[in-house]
Structure 1
Amino acid sequence: MKEMNPLEEIRHSTAHVLAAAVLRLYPHAQLDIGPPTDNGFYYDFDSEIAFTPEVLEEIEVEMKKIIKENQRFERIEVSREEAKKIISNMGQTTYKLGRLDDIPEGETISFYRNGEFHDLCAGSHVSYTKKIKAFKLLQVAGSYHRGNSDNKQLQRIYGTAFPSKDELAEHLTRIEEAKKRDHRNIGRDMGLFHIDDMVGQGLVLWKPKGAIIRQELESFISAELNKQGYSQVYTPHVGKLDLFRTSGHFPYYQDSQYPPIIHRECLTKLAEEGCSCSELSNKLDEGEIEGYLLKPMNCPMHIRIFRSEQRSYRDLPIRLAEFGTVYRWEQSGELNGMTRVRGFTQDDAHLFIREDQLQEEIQGCLGLVKLVFSILGMNDYRVRVSLRDPESDKYVGSPEAWDKAESALREAVQNLGVDYEEELGEAAFYGPKIDFVVKDVIGREWQL
C-alpha cells in the first residue's frame, strides 16, 4: 500500500468518488487515472459527453449522494488474471488494462472498492466516504493519454477537497485572488507580451512596454554580476548535435527537446536510400548523421568558451554569465503563459574553479541570489538541497565527487543561515543543486 498523509487520502478518495459518479451518470465513459495533487486531485476520462460546467454540477450532485451513502473503501488484493476479470466486468478495458500491465510481475495488485465501483489502485484512502467533508470540482482541461500527443486526448476533471468547509472556502478565495493576478491577463491588459499561434505555442513576443521591463531587469542583474566579478558572454541559439551528445543532453533527454535540424540534401539522400524514420532516428542517436539542435541548455557552450584558451590554476575562478535563450519541447497541455514555455531566456552562469575555492564560490552565488531577492522584495522563500539517489544509475561522475559536492552545498546553505530541506533523488544528472522556492502574495510557491 502506498502511504499518504490524511489530506492526500481525502483528495485521493474524492477522485474515486468522482469516477464512480461519472460512471453512474455516463456508464460508457472510460477511466484512465485519478491521483491526488498538491492542490487537489484530477481524473482523466474518455467520454463522448463534453464535461461542460453544467455537467460538472450534475456530477457534483451525484458525488454528494455517494458521500451520503457512507460507502466503505475496501482494499482487495488479487492475482493478475483476477484483475483482468474485474476490469473487464467493469467495462474499463480501454485504459485500465494498460495500467495493469505497468505493474511489474511479482508486485502486489490491488483494487479499492466503494459501493459498486472498483478501481485499480495502490491506495491509500479514507475509511468511509462520509470522511470527505468538503470538495469542489474546478475545471476541465484536455490531457493526452500518458502525456503523449500521439495518443487520444482525454478530458481531465480537476477538483479539490479539504477536511472542512472553512478550509475549502479559503482555498476557493485564493483561487479567485489568483485569477485577478493572472499574469496572462495582466500582460494582455498592460500590453507587455503576446503569444501568437502563427509564431508557435510557448514562444513569447515581447511588446515595447514589456521590453522596457525586461531591459531594466537585465541591466540590474548585469550590474550586480559585474560587481561580483562575472564575465558576460553570448552564445548561439543552435549547436551541433555532437556537442550535445558529448554533454549527455542528446539523445537521453530528446523527448523534452525540439527535433534535430538536418540539412535537406542529407534528408533527400537518405530518402532515396529508403531510410525509414526509425532508422533515421537511430542514425542520429548513434552519431552516424550530423545535425544541429536548438540548445536546451547553455552549459555546453560555456564549457567550449572555457576550453578555447590555455588556462592556469592561477586564472581561477573564471565566472561566465549569459542571458542565454534556450528551447525545450514542453507538452502543449503543460504550457502556461510565461511560466511554462518552449523558448525562454535564463540569467545563467557557470563557474570554473579549483576544488579549494568551492565553498567560497557557492556562498558567493547564494549571497548574490539573496541580494537580488531582497531588492526585488521576494523575502518569503525556502531553500531546498537536491541530492542524488544512490540507488539510481542516471548520474554521471564518481560517488566520491558527488559526496564532496553534496557536502559543499550543505555547508554553504548552513553558512547562509536559513532553514533548508533535502530532497533525495532530485539532483540533476550532472550534479546536486540548490533550489530557492519563493512564495507569492497569495501563498503559491514557485521554484526559481
Structure 2
Amino acid sequence: MHRMRKSKVSAVGLLSFLLGVFFLSKVSSDNVSAPSFPAAWDVDERQSLEDVLADHTSLGAEQELFFSHPVSPGSYFFLPHGTRIYNRLVKFIRDQYWKRGLDEVVTPNMFDIHVFETSGHARKYKENMFILEIENQEFALKPMNCPGHCLMFTHRVRSYKELPLRFAEFGVLHRNEASDALTGLTRVRRFQMDGAHIFCRESQIKDEVRAFLEFVRDVYGVFGLTFDLNLSTRPENYIGDKRTWEKAESTLTEALNEFGKPWQKDEGEGAFYGPKIDVTVSDAFNMKIQCATLQLDFQLPVRFGLSYSTEDESKSETPVMIHQAVLGSVERMFAILLEHYQGKWPFWLSPRQAIVFPVSEKSRSYSLKVRDQIHHAGYYVDFDKTDRKIQEKVSEARLVRYNYILVVGEEAAGTGQVTVHVRDEADKIVMTVADLLKVFEEKSAAFH
C-alpha cells in the first residue's frame, strides 16, 4: 500500500513491505487477512513501484486528512477533514445496519483477563494484547468484539423466538503489533471494525450468509470496488464434530452458488472453529486485499455457555455464532478508498464538497451567507479568509480536490448567483445557490 522508490527496493525491503500489510489475522475471530498479489505481478516489469502502489499516507498528508506521531505509534490522528470521511464511512454502515435488521450495541474497551481466557484468546495471543494491572487485577484492552457480544447474549435468558439475534458494534480495538510492522493505516494498533455477531440456529445460517453477501455487494458497489469470494474449509487442526463441519460447509456452498458470483474454494484454510468466506477487493492497481469476512463459529458459544430455550421450554440448545465484517476495519477501508479514488472523493463521501471564495472584501459578507446556506443544508463547506489572489486560491483548492469551488463576485448579492468551478471540468458555471443545492442533493442521493 505504500509508495517506494524502485532504486531503493531490495529483496529484503520488498519482503518487509509485503509482510507489513498483514493485519494480524491470527489474533481475532474477526480477522482481516493479508492482501494477495496477481501471480504475474512483477516489479521489474513496471517503471517503478510508484506505478503499482499508490501511497495513501502521501495522499493523506497532501489533503491534511491524518498523521501519525511517535508519542502513539500505530494510532493515527485524524484531522477535521479526515474525520469527516471516517465518520461518513461509519454512518454509511450504521444506516445499512438499521435497514438490514442489525442492532448496534456498545461494550467496554477493557475486560478482566478471565474473559479472554474463557474465549481462548489469552492462551494463544496474549503477547498481542495490551495488558493492564489495576488493583492487583489483570485487565486487557479488547482486540475484538466477540467476547463482549457473548456476554451480552448471556445477560438474560434467551428464547428461540429471538433468533437470529444480531449485534453490531464500531468498538475501538487495540492489538499490540510490533513497531517495525506498523504500515500506514493498513496495519495499526488502534482501530475500529464494523464487527457484527449473529446468534442463530443452524437452520438460519443460509439466510444470514445470503444477507451478508448482499450486504457486501451493495456496499462495495457504492464504493466502485470489485470483489472476489473464497470459501475456506476445514483445516487439519479443526475442533468440533466432523459432520457439523461438513453440514456448515455445504450450507455456505449453497449460499455462494445461489448468490451467483463465481467463487473459489481454499481447502483446509478455514479457522479452527469453523469455515469462513473471505472477500477480497481489487484496487485501482489490481492488487487484491482482503476486507470483508464471514466466519461460522461453533466453539465460542460453547466456551461461554450460550444457550436458548427451544419450542419445548424444558430443553435448550446452543446457538451458532456468525462473525462478520463488511468494511473490515474503518482505517484499512479508508486507506483503500483513498488510493482507489486517488484522493478524488465522490461527492457523498468527500470531506471537501465545496469551498467559498470572495473576490474582494466587498463580497465577503454575502460569501459568508452563501457558506452558511450550504452548511445549514448539511454539506461540508469551507471558507477562505485569506487575502491572496483569487487565481492562487482556486489553484490550491483544485490541488486538494474540492468537488465544487464557488467564487462570489461583488455583484452576487444582487443577482444571487455565484461562479462554480466543478472538479475535473474546464468550464465554469454561473448559477444560484438554490440550484447548486439541488445538484448537491442529487449527488448525495446517488449512493443510497
TM-score range, shorter chain: 0.5 to 0.7
The letter for the 2-side match of 1:242 is: H
Aligned-pair CA distance for 1:198 = 0.8
Counterpart selection for 2:230 from 370, 384, 409:
384
| CA deviation string 1:289-318 (max 9, x = no partner) | x41111111001011111112211011111
Match of 1:182 in 2: 55
Residue 420 of structure 1 pairs with residue 263 of structure 2: yes
- Once residues 12 and 266 of structure 2 are traced to their aligned partners in structure 1, the CA distance between those partners, rounded to angstroms, is 31
2:151 is matched with 304
Q: Does 1:238 align with 2:82?
A: no
Aligned mates of 1:178, 1:192 — CA distance in 2:
23
For residues 388 and 255 of structure 1, the distance between their equivalents in structure 2, rounded to whole angstroms, comes to 27
* TM-score, normalising length: structure 1: 0.55
- Alignment of 1:441 onto 2:280: no
Which residue of 128, 136, 157 maps to 1:256? 128
SS for the counterpart of 1:252 is helix
1:109-145 deviations in Å (ceiling 9; x for gaps)? xxxxxxxxxxxxxxxxxxxxxxxxxxx84774897xx
- Give the secondary structure class of the aligned counterpart of 1:202: coil
- CA 1:236–1:178 in structure 2 vs 1: closer, same or farther (change >3 Å)? farther
Deviations 1:246-288 (A, max 9, x none): 1111121223323x2123x53xxxxxxxxxxxxxxxxxxxxxx
> Matches of 2:167 and 2:43 in 1, distance apart?
48
Judge conservation of contact 1:234–1:322 (CA < 8 Å) in 2: yes
In the alignment, the residues of structure 2 paired with residue 348 and residue 305 of structure 1 have an alpha-carbon distance, to the nearest angstrom, of 15
- CA displacement 1:339-385 (0-9 Å, x = unmatched): 11111100110111122111111101111111101111112x21111
Structure 1 position 356 matched with structure 2 position 203: yes
The aligned counterpart of 1:222 is 94
% identical aligned pairs? 36
Determine if contact 1:142/1:333 at 8 Å carries over to the other structure. no
State the match for 2:246 in structure 1.
403
Q: TM-score, normalised by structure 2?
A: 0.55
Deviation of the 1:331 alpha carbon: 2.1
1:241–1:292 Cα contact (<8 Å) kept: yes
Query: Structure 1's 400 and 214: CA in aligned 2 closer, same or farther, altered over 3 A?
Result: same
Local SS of the residue matching 1:186: helix
Q: 2 CA distance for matches of 1:355 and 1:167?
A: 45
The count of residues paired between Structure 1 and Structure 2 equals: 268
Structure 1: gaps spanning 5 or more residues: 1-51, 57-135, 148-159, 267-289
Moved over 6 A (4+): none
Specify the code of the residue in structure 2 equivalent to 1:411.
E
Indicate conservation of the 8 Å contact 2:46/2:52, yes or no: no
CA distance in 2, matches of 1:371, 1:140: 37
The within-5 A match list for 1:17-416 is 137=10, 140=13, 169-173=44-48, 175-178=49-52, 181-199=54-72, 201-258=73-130, 260-263=131-134, 266=136, 290-379=137-226, 381-389=227-235, 391-392=236-237, 395-416=238-259
How has the CA–CA distance of structure 1 residues 141 and 170 changed in structure 2, closer, same or farther, with 3 Å as cutoff? Answer: closer
Report the CA distance between 1:332 and its aligned residue.
Answer: 2.2
Higher relative contact order (CA closer than 8 Å, sequence separation 6+): 2
The answer for the alignment partner of 1:85 in structure 2 is none
SS at match of 2:228: strand
Gaps of 5+ in 2: 21-36, 292-448
